[in-house]
Amino acid sequence: MSAFDQAIRTIQFLSADGVEKANSGHPGTPMALAGITTEIFTQHLRYVPEDPTWPNRDRFVLSCGHASMLLYSTLFLAGYDLSLEDLKQFRQWNSKTAGHPEYGFAPGIETTTGPLGQGVGNAVGMALASKLMSARVGPEIIDYTVYCLASDGDLMEGVASEAASIAGHLGLDNLILIYDDNKITIDGTTELSFSEDVAKRFEAYGFATERVDGHAPEQVRSAIERAKARKGQPSLILARTTIGIGAPTKAGTSKAHGAPLGAEEIKAAKIAAGWPGDVAFNVPEDARAPFKDRAAQNRILRDAWKKAVAGLDADKKRTLDGFLNRTVPADLYEQLQKSLDGKADATRNTAGKVQQKVAALVPSLLGGAADLAESTKTTIKGSPDVHRGEFAGRNLNFGIREHGMAAVLNGMALSGFFIPFGSTFLIFSDYCRPSIRLAAIMHQRSLFVFTHDSVFLGEDGPTHQPIEHLWSLRLIPNLDVVRPADGLECAAAWTHAVTRTNGPTAFALSRQKLPELERPANFDPARVLDGAYVLADAPNAELTLIATGSEVHVALAAKKILDEKGHPARVVSAPCWDAFQRLPTETIESVLGSGTRRVSIEAGSSLPWRTVTGERGINVGIDRFGASAPAERLAEEFGLTGAKVAERVLSAL
């Protein structure tokens, strides 16, 4: 048996053994894809296992993350920092080998996959990032290729279709998508639900397609070589495979998909393959040889790359370093404050103006909108749009593909070069949510700019008026939601978003005009960065009015009435409740006032605020769907004017 074939068998049976030991997992797909993965890693992929973040490495994305043992077994043989013991700890507490690949758990895992279709979207973002960087520093510095393995389930999910459409439109010829066409899902054969011609669909997107026998290495190799040489089109290779290949009674059936094969089935499969039937986690030394040979070749490429970088002129070297570090000026907040004009305006407009200054100071910031740039105010002025073959610009047109946009953003962030943003209305964050959640899990600096943040967008009515969305997003761990009330808070929001290196940020910006807030004399603008701060105080305050965004000026108006009525009130503006909650408890209490009665004021769901305001709290919000009417009428009807809020508070005292 050749070393190449030994590598395939080793991956197949390490995967089956890992699932069996865990008594949980998906053995069939790793067994089916072991040959294709071995081909990619030993013949095509540009990687150096001891230098896993080499910027110009090729990226390998396992979109069908349920086949995670395939990735772990391959990385182990390839020499990455994964041990045989790690493979034996598959799906166990604190293991590097989680049930689905988790970015950051082990080197070589390029993205967190498992929710089907997301890996395809990430791969598109990674491929796009390569093109964008090549346009900035030259193809001799960045020109990597992205290889993505996808399953039937990936290609059924809408997010993959949206992302693939973007890839085809932009002609991302450095994207090679390999479809594991095994005709099996958990419930049975794909005939139950999936009868379309996938090749024709992807040809319509703009992909070049071809079919191969996934178990014929020469066919797979030739198809990949053609894809690598192809210009102007991404490639889809439809590889026909047999799930659980070699398993005597379960191969080609759904029984090989989502459950261990069983000890006897694995033993029989091993014996039939000429493998020791009674030995689990068997690793012949020859199985490593093809990977070692490839890594040795890649080290030569990596060292040549380092020399090329060292030979760059000072300006281009500075440019490369700026993108690699995603450099943000230390005095960004101060510079943004100087750019404020102090005029009343919608925060979508004010934040848009602030963003122009951010873009001038942070070259790694780029992004676009889901066909709403005119409304979200996110177009970077002075920069062209990105088009097929033209990647020097900073404005991306994602089309009406919110789900795909968000997944692509994560891939761009994972590339290590960019701080990407995407924008749409807050109501459509529902379409982005799975990708937002994954950005939070992966601690990626993906930015989501949402405008039209409340019922006060007005006449479009309840289908476009977000109610539960602010808290729905705040409930995602590690996502920071910023809802600024005026210019200074917009400057703080953008500062927070681009300097936060361990997670994503979502903006919630108003369509309607908001007044500039008056702050106390000697107010320290740094307090805004805390996430919540005392905007207006009162001696011996009896009440603390907590408000966000467009309701802050309402809280100030209510305070004036309450003060006059003998109920002195403090107003706390809370542009980023998530950041505020990370402060020490004593700091939080000092802002909220431990002895005051708390009132929340926000044009959205009020129930979660009760955890903040407590049993005696008063919660002013909207706990029903909105209505189609002018914003002023909606404010009256929903009780979100200063007078109405004061009346509500007084009635509860």
Taking the domain 530-652, which CATH number applies? 3.40.50.920
- Whole-number Cα distances in Å, 507 to 57, 423, 445: 33, 9, 13
Q: Which residues contact 577 (CB under 8 A, 6 or more apart)?
A: 474, 481, 531, 532, 548
Predicted local confidence at residue 594, as pLDDT: 87
C-alpha separations of 550 from 58, 228, 342, 646 in Å: 46, 52, 16, 16
CATH topology of domain 3-299: Rossmann fold (3.40.50)
Rg from Cα positions in the chain: 27
CA-CA distance, 116 to 156, in Å (whole number)? 9
Which tens digit of pLDDT belongs to each residue from 359-418? Answer: 999 999 999 999 999 999 999 999 999 999 999 999 999 999 999 999 999 999 999 999
Instruction: Provide the 8-state DSSP code for 545.
Output: E
Q: Which of 364, 366, 360 is nearest to 324 (CA)?
A: 364
Of 157, 402, 489, 602, catalytic = 402
Residue range 332-514 in CATH 3.40.50.20: no
Strands 175-181 and 184-185: unpaired
3-state helix, strand, coil in the chain (%, to 5): 45, 15, 40
**Residues in the chain, pLDDT under 70:** none
Q: What are the residue ranges spanned by the domains of the chain?
A: 3-299, 332-514, 530-652
What are the CA-CA distances from residue 354 to residues 348, 363, 372, 379, 552 (Å)?
Answer: 10, 15, 18, 12, 20
Neighbour-count burial for 290-324, b at 16+ CB within 10 Å, e otherwise? bbeebbeebeeebeebeeebeebeeeeeebbebbb
Helix H or strand E encompassing 555: helix 552-564
d(CA 537, CA 529): 19
What does the pLDDT read at residue 295? 98
402 is catalytic: yes
